[in-house]
């Protein structure tokens, strides 16, 4: 409810709901106009309390002020906002929390606006894109005959190791390399 008003006083603040705006115009030599707010007030004794720990002002929406005193001058009013009480307890259903707000079109910010201009180019430079890749040879050769391969399970003893043959060939290559270096 954004139509909340508060009137601070030395005896305690009065909280209410704004109902109507009335502008009175006095026609005189100098025209004068006065703006009044017609409000419905909450009872400041039974319907208003301040939470000691958090400083929240709590308003009971069912406890209305019985005296007929609905009008205030516009410059006396302070705009407030009422929201539902942030509790799931049933005894808080009729209670609202009051938040003071500033009635302005702009919000004061703590940060300072920087006058940074965005980097922008008028023209886009076209960069040529060249993609190269190696063509892999096909895995299937259409010019050869198909081979039928029989897969069989082999025992561990039947598997031969060719590692010994490769080691012998490597040793022979090392000997040949040493002989070539001497001839240089």
Write down the H helix ranges in the chain.
163-182
Question: Which of left, alpha, beta for 42 (phi over 0: left; psi -120 to 50: alpha)?
Answer: beta
Mean pLDDT rounded to a whole number for the chain:
76
pLDDT at 29 (0 to 100): 82
Would the pTM count as exceeding 0.85? no
Radius of gyration of the chain (CA): 46
Does the pLDDT value for residue 151 go beyond 90? no
pLDDT at 36 (0 to 100): 93
| Residue spans of beta strands (DSSP E) within 12-128 | 14-26, 32-41, 48-50, 57-60, 71-73, 78-84, 95-100
More confident residue, 134 or 150: 134
pLDDT at 127 (0 to 100): 81
pLDDT at 131 (0 to 100): 80
Q: Cα–Cα distance between 149 and 17 in angstroms, integer? A: 93
| pLDDT band per the 50, 70, 90 thresholds, residue 73 | very high
Mean pLDDT for 28-37 is 88
More confident residue, 43 or 143: 43
Does the pLDDT value for residue 86 go beyond 90? no
pLDDT at 107 (0 to 100): 60
| Domain definitions of the chain by residue range | 4-100
More confident residue, 26 or 155: 26
| pLDDT band per the 50, 70, 90 thresholds, residue 54 | confident
């Amino acid at each position: 409810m954004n139509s909340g008003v508060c009137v601070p006083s030395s005896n305690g603040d009065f909280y209410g709901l704004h109902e109507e705006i009335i502008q009175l115009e006095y026609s005189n030599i100098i025209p004068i106009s006065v703006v009044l707010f017609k409000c419905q007030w909450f009872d400041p004794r039974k319907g208003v309390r301040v939470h000691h720990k958090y400083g929240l002002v709590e308003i009971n929406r069912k406890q209305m002020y019985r005296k007929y005193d609905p009008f205030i001058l516009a410059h006396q009013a302070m705009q407030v906002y009422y929201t539902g009480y942030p509790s799931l307890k049933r005894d808080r259903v009729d209670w609202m929390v009051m938040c003071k707000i500033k009635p302005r079109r702009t919000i004061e910010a703590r940060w300072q606006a920087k006058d940074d201009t965005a980097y922008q180019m008028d023209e886009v430079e076209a960069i040529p894109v060249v993609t190269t890749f190696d063509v892999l040879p096909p895995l299937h050769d259409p010019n050869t005959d198909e081979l039928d391969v029989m897969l069989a399970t082999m025992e561990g003893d039947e598997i031969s190791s060719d590692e010994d043959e490769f080691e012998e060939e490597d040793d022979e290559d090392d000997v040949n390399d040493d002989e070539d270096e001497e001839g240089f």
